[in-house]
Structure 1
Amino acid sequence: IRNPLDNAFSVFKQHFSSGNDFSYKIEDISCYMQGYYDLMNHWTSCFGEKIYHQSYEELVTQPEKNIRDLLNYCELDFQESCLNFHKSKRPVLTPSSSQVRQPMSTKSINTSEPYRELMEPYASTISNLKIS
């Protein structure tokens, strides 16, 4: 779970090679995000604590603690490679492939702030999105 405005801005500035046409208009991103949050709220109401929610901001500011908590929840053992994922030589075929080759960073926290005025027409709708 990430700050909704930062998440929307991140999607908006990402150039996808194909598909994801919703990502080029903030109002479409807002609609897509609302659908995602509605779906997650549904599954959370059905399964409660069986669904693990991870805060992006907590993960990047305290990676080891949050990775250990997630692995513990999944009943998996911690491995040092969980913290050193960026050193893996496996192929990555996602838009974030360059980010995967770097250590976790906090630089994506509050990235939407300089654009808040431009996002103002959508800010209240997007900011209020949350998983119950």
Structure 2
Amino acid sequence: MTIGEAARASGVSAKMIRYYEETGLIPAAGRTGSGYRTYGPKEVQILRFVRRARDLGFPMEKVAELLALWRDRDRASADVRHLAEAQIAALDRRIREMQEMQATLSHLVRSCAGDDRPDCPILDDLGGHPGGPARTA
């Protein structure tokens, strides 16, 4: 199948397929005599694997590790579990950070009168100068 067909079948855009090939995450596709990439069911399965891992938030280097483990029939499931547990911890950290950002922004919004006056604690905070406009030297 063509790259467009592989993209539709896997849910990975053609642009990302090319990127994954360029970075070595997935093997380079076969080529027709005229240079077009060709993909089969095995490649689509790999692309689906990558997409699912990315959907779960795994960074590219961890996706590569997961792919290597997936291909290694002698792997220990403990190795896979360890990667998944580390990803859970990373997601927990990101969730906490986002909750902190939300709390800070909510506080700033409550502090803003939202009227016709130019005073704006949101902009003051973003400018790094609570209580007044940024000063330039």
Over alpha carbons, which structure has the higher Rg? 2
TM-score by length of 1: 0.24
